[in-house]
Structures are given as structure tokens and as C-alpha cells.
Amino acid sequence: MAEVTLSNLSKSYGATRALKDVTMTIPDGAFVVLLGPTGAGKTTTLRLIAGLDRPDAGDVRISGQSVLRDTPAQRDVAMVFQQYSLYPHLSVRDNLAFPLRSPMIAMPEDQIARRVQEVAEVLRIPHKLDNKATALSGGEMQRVSIGRALVRNPRIYLMDEPLSSLDAKLRADLRVELKRIHQDLGATFLYVTHDQIEAMTMATHVGVLDHGRLVQFGTPREIYETPVSAYVASRLGQPHINLLPADAFGAPPPNAAQIGLRPEHIHIGEGVEAAISRIEHLGDQTRLHLTFGPHALVTLTDPHTPLQPGQTVRIRPHNPLWFDAAGNRI
Ligand code: ADP
């Protein structure tokens, strides 16, 4: 396991500047989640670390040593893509064993057999070991892809939305499993996801990318509670943070252009009158959709609420976040 440092990393594809001057340290044993919408530069970051692409400028260091001249194999990283990449003509067992048979690792066959069995059990595919890789469902193929990374003990695991093609139950199980692997092995992870829950539950640190720039790096709690901008604030939280004109509830602080209200920033019971337009019962949370004047917002309420659509409630902000005209937090 190892610390990975990116210094002033930049990469363009033709006229597209995919990554701009990114500096970030992934501490040894950390689980860093990269967040950002499509095109923000997340996959590019992983590819530059893995050695699948070369940066235009900047450096990638693993355990303090620059790896820019090293091949992907020499870098000793394991990468899992969103889309499974298996050897179709091989069995699941041989797909899982493949990385361990590489000349750089060359593990004895009896150890390989044990390791493959262990990983197959973690991923709940031991009964599929003798299947051809093509004789699997999409979810099973993706588990084999993850398994091919897990059989190894690389310096860092790079994962690009590895769970996004799986059904909700398996995703929840593997989330717990990956976190357990992280804790048990002390492994270092850099993990790309769009999934809030994955980010909040697995990450020790979150890096937020905006058009190729790293705009904030911190613990999930820091990113959630003290975002540097409305953009960062919008990356985490379900329901999404409500962004309204700063004067929606009365006089704002100087320079405020927007007020940001997460569900816990909305006090119900006094303040302005808002109409309930919709109530969504999601099981683990109940969402209250409100309108007042031209504004709409979403907050949470008690699952056993007696409130009904068409009724009104009074609301007021409680410790909201304020943003200036450029979207930066005040
Ligand atoms: P993300 O993973 O956050 O969706 P990417 O790192 O894949 O973002 O892409 C960042 C930007 O670089 C995007 O604008 C994307 O279109 C562009 N890009 C990535 N790879 C290539 C490539 N091989 N050729 C051309 N443009 C690319």
C-alpha cells in the first residue's frame, strides 16, 4: 500500500482541457472518492495514475517516486472500470487467477487457488468459477472484474464507478464489502462515483472536480457541512441542497446572491407560509415538496406526518449557507 501524490497535473485531448493543474495527495490507506459530473476529469485522473495516458504537465508519485516513466504493470496499481473487461474465452477461475500468474507476481498455483476461492466467496460467485466468462449475467461479470483487482495486493486500487451496473441490493452488499476490504487490508483506494451514498459511506476523503480543476478536498463531512461553493454543495446531499435567491426569506447578508438550504436548514413551524405540493414516502425518508411565492423547495419530514398535499406550513431558514454571485460561499 502506498501514498499517491499528484502535482500540478494537466492533460488535454485536442482542444479539450480534461485536467487543469490538479494537486492532490491520496494518503496511504485512504479511501478517496472523486465527485463531479460527466466530463469533470475523474476518469482522466485514474488513467494518468494507472499509466494508461501520459500527462502534458505535472507528476504522479507513488510512495514518493515518480512513476511517469513506468509502464502500467510496473506501477503496480489495479484498476476496475465501469464496464467489465474480462477474457471471454477463459473461465471465471482463470480470469480471477490471471493477474496472479503474471510474471511480475508469479504466485504458486496452490496459493492462487486459495486466493481465487476467497475472493469468489466475498463476491458470492464461488458456484460460477467453472463458467466461461461469457456465461454470466452483467452483474456477475462486473463482480469478476472487481475480483480481478481484489485478488492482488496492489499499491492502489483505482475504481471507476465499479458498482453502477449492479442492482441495488448487490450494490449495497458490495459497498459494505469494499469498505471492509479497505479497513482489513489498509488498502489505498481512489474511487469514482456518482452515488451519494457510496461517497458518504466509503470515503475517508472526497475530492470535487469542476471542469478539470480540483475545487475542494476534505472529509465527506467537511464537503457536506462547509462546501466552498454552491457547486460543491450540490455534489452531496439527498434531497439536493435548495438554492434560492438570497432575499427569498427577507434581508440577506451583504454580497449574498443565493441562500443554500439543506433539509436540516429548514425549520418548520414558524416563518413564511409555504404550500405543500407533494409528499413522497420513500421508506427511509419522507420528502416534503413546498412552494412559496415563485420558489420551490424540498425538505424532509417525519415518516408518520399527518400533513397532506394542499395544506400549508410555516418555514424559516436555520443556519443556512450563503453564496455570492460567483457561487462562492460567504
Ligand atoms: P469524467 O470521468 O469526469 O466524466 P473524463 O475524465 O472522462 O471525465 O473526461 C474529461 C474531459 O476530457 C471530457 O470533456 C471528455 O470529453 C474529454 N476526454 C476524455 N478522454 C478523451 C479522449 N480520449 N479523447 C478526447 N477527449 C477526451
pLDDT digit string, tens, across residues 150-183: 898 889 999 999 888 888 888 888 888 888 888 8
Mean pLDDT of the chain: 92
Residue 171's pLDDT is: 86
Helix, strand, or coil here: 231?
A: helix
If you ran DSSP here, which 8-state letter would residue 328 be given?
A: B
- How many CB atoms lie under 10 A from the CB of residue 224? 20
What is the enclosing helix (H) or strand (E) of 140? Answer: helix 138-150
Helix, strand, or coil here: 63?
A: coil
Atom of ligand 1 nearest to the CA of 14: 25
Q: Which of 244, 225, 245, 247 is nearest to 235 (CA)?
A: 225
C-alpha cell at 45: 485522473
Helix, strand, or coil here: 130?
A: coil
Q: Does residue 227 have a cis bond before it (omega within 30 degrees)?
A: no
Distance 19 CA to ligand 1 centre (A): 9
CA atoms of 262 and 302, how far apart (whole Å): 16
Is the separation of the CB atoms in 287 and 280 below 8 Å?
A: yes
Residue 82's pLDDT is: 75
If you ran DSSP here, which 8-state letter would residue 91 be given?
A: B
CA atoms of 113 and 282, how far apart (whole Å): 44
pLDDT averaged per 10 residues in sequence order, the chain, 330 residues:
94 96 97 94 96 97 96 91 82 94 88 93 90 86 88 91 85 85 86 87 95 97 96 93 96 96 94 95 91 95 91 96 97
Q: Write out the E strands in the chain.
A: 4-13, 16-26, 31-35, 57-62, 65-66, 77-80, 156-160, 189-192, 205-210, 213-218, 242-245, 258-261, 266-281, 286-292, 295-301, 312-317, 321-323
Is the separation of the CB atoms in 74 and 62 below 8 Å?
A: no
Distance 186 CA to ligand 1 centre (A): 31
CA atoms of 311 and 327, how far apart (whole Å): 33
Is the separation of the CB atoms in 324 and 330 below 8 Å?
A: yes
Q: Which residue, by CA, sits nearest to atom 17 of ligand 1?
A: 18
Q: How many CA atoms lie within 13 A of 63 on its CB side?
A: 8
Among 16, 42, 161, 211, residue to substitute to test ligand 1 (most atoms within 8 Å of Cβ) = 16
Atom of ligand 1 nearest to the CA of 44: 6
If you ran DSSP here, which 8-state letter would residue 1 be given?
A: -
Q: Which residue, by CA, sits nearest to atom 5 of ligand 1?
A: 41
- How many CB atoms lie under 10 A from the CB of residue 311? 11
Distance 41 CA to ligand 1 centre (A): 6
C-alpha cell at 192: 469514482
Q: Does residue 239 have a cis bond before it (omega within 30 degrees)?
A: yes
Residue 174's pLDDT is: 82
Ligand 1 proximal residues by C-beta, below 6 Å: 13, 16, 18, 36, 38-44
Residue 167's pLDDT is: 83
- How many CB atoms lie under 10 A from the CB of residue 322? 19
CA atoms of 84 and 307, how far apart (whole Å): 46
Residue 310's pLDDT is: 94
- How many CB atoms lie under 10 A from the CB of residue 118? 14
Ramachandran class of 114: left when φ > 0, alpha when ψ lies in -120 to 50, beta otherwise: alpha
Q: Which residue, by CA, sits nearest to atom 22 of ligand 1?
A: 13
List of domains in the chain: 4-233 (3.40.50.300), 242-250+258-323 (2.40.50.140)
Q: Which amino acid is at 14?
A: G
Question: Whole-model pTM?
Answer: 0.90
